[in-house]
């Protein structure tokens, strides 16, 4: 009898373990439209990353779950296995490559500057100019934060205010707490469309590759790359991008 109970217990653990392994968890920060954001009506996380991530999981035969967290918590969540991958309009950088591996790139981002319509900042160069002293809002831990911290604040050319989400940074701009927000171009367009009195400066800088972050030497990386490639080849990725960034 004892033996049967022990076997049942082992089976239970095995089955629970198997059930858990079947869900692929994606870490993201759902304040980055059109890549990931909460749909007002359904309250669900939608966007390019949400849909491409789901398609990758489906292709690989997993259930799918999105875990929303601060942007700068995503890489630690990947390295500790709290999530299976991070997908958050995340730029491939040398620094991040020290902690994680990246999939092949699936999109491009460009850093943009959002200002009030009547701002005296007319070009990104104004932020880096000698004698400049602007207060710049960024999302903490993003490449925008890194560029402004290293290129402006560390050089005594201004102050960087770091916010948990892009939405919070934009709120600081509309309420006059910061002079501009440095953020990726597609979210910038979304935030400007959603808020009166803001514009994006023409001069954009830093073209970046977005990719999926995975644990170093993970067996998943090759599978994710294969799934991603086939979703690019069969037009799925292009259709998702077109849905969220209509070309006309
Ligand atoms: N592409 C930027 C980065 O990787 C911003 C990403 C984000 O805010 N979700 O840092």
Which atom of ligand 1 sits closest to the CA of residue 109? Answer: 1
Distance 109 CA to ligand 1 centre (A): 9
**134, burial (CB in 10 Å: exposed 0-12, middle 13-18, buried 19+):** buried
Distance 25 CA to ligand 1 centre (A): 19
Confidence at residue 204, expressed as pLDDT on a 0 to 100 scale: 74
Q: What is the C-alpha separation between 32 and 69, in angstroms, rounded?
A: 12
Distance 131 CA to ligand 1 centre (A): 28
Confidence at residue 19, expressed as pLDDT on a 0 to 100 scale: 45
Q: What is the C-alpha separation between 20 and 126, in angstroms, rounded?
A: 51
Which atom of ligand 1 sits closest to the CA of residue 142? Answer: 10
Confidence at residue 2, expressed as pLDDT on a 0 to 100 scale: 63
Confidence at residue 203, expressed as pLDDT on a 0 to 100 scale: 79
Q: Output the residue whose Cα is nearest ligand 1's atom 5.
A: 142
- Residue in 91, 93, 207 to alter for ligand 1 test, most ligand atoms within 8 A of Cβ: 91
Stated pTM of the model: 0.88
Distance 92 CA to ligand 1 centre (A): 9
The b/e string for 151-189 (b: 16+ C-beta within 10 A; e otherwise) is: ebeeeebbebbbbebbbbbbbbbbeeebbbbbbbbbbbb
212 lines ligand 1 (CB under 6 A): no
111 lines ligand 1 (CB under 6 A): no
Put residue 212 in one of left, alpha, beta given phi > 0 → left and psi -120 to 50 → alpha: beta
Nearest to 144 by CA among 72, 246, 76, 197: 72
Distance 90 CA to ligand 1 centre (A): 5
28 lines ligand 1 (CB under 6 A): no
* pLDDT average per 10 residues of sequence, the chain (248 residues): 63 54 92 96 98 97 97 98 98 98 96 97 94 97 96 96 96 97 96 96 89 97 98 97 93
Kindly report the average pLDDT of the chain as a whole number. 93
Distance 91 CA to ligand 1 centre (A): 6
Confidence at residue 208, expressed as pLDDT on a 0 to 100 scale: 96
């Amino acid at each position: 009898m004892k033996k049967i109970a022990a076997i049942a217990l082992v089976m239970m653990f095995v089955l629970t373990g198997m059930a858990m392994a079947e869900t692929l968890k994606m870490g993201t920060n759902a304040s980055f439209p059109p890549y990931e954001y909460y749909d007002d009506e359904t309250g669900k996380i939608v966007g390019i990353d949400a849909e491409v991530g789901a398609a990758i999981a489906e292709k690989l035969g997993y259930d799918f779950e999105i875990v929303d967290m601060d942007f700068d918590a995503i890489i630690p969540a990947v390295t500790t296995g709290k999530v299976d991958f991070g997908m958050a309009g995340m730029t491939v950088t040398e620094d991040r490559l020290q902690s994680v591996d990246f999939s092949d790139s699936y999109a491009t981002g460009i850093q943009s500057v959002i200002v009030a319509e009547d701002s005296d900042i007319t070009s990104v160069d104004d932020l880096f100019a000698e004698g400049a002293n602007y207060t710049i809002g960024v999302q903490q831990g993003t490449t925008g934060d890194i560029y402004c911290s290293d290129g402006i604040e560390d050089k005594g050319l201004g102050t960087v205010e770091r916010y948990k989400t892009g939405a919070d940074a934009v709120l600081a701009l509309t309420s006059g707490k910061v002079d501009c927000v440095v953020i990726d171009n597609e979210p910038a367009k979304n935030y400007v469309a959603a808020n009166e009195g803001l514009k994006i400066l023409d001069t954009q800088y830093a073209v970046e590759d977005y990719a999926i972050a995975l644990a170093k030497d993970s067996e998943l990386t090759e599978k994710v790359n294969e799934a991603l490639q086939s979703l690019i080849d069969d037009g799925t990725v292009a259709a998702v991008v077109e849905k969220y960034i209509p070309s006309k």
